[in-house]
Structure 1
Amino acid sequence: MYKISEFAEITGLSKETLRYYAEVKLLEPAYIDPRNHYRYYDDGSFFLAILLAKLRRFGFTIQEMTSVMEDESFSHLEDLLMQKREKIQLQMEDLRQQTEEIDEFLKSGRDDTRDD
Structure 2
Amino acid sequence: MVTDKDGYIHLIQYLTEHLGLFETPSSQVISDDTVMELFEEQLSAQIIMVCGQNPSLSFIQRNIIIREVDAIVYDLEEILALVANYKATPAQTLFITEFSSLIKNLFDQEIAKLQAIA
Please give the TM-score of this superposition, normalised by the length of structure 1. 0.34
Answer 1 or 2: which has greater strand percent.
Answer: 1
Higher relative contact order (CA 8 A, sep 6+): 2
- Between structure 1 and structure 2, the one with the greater Rg is 1
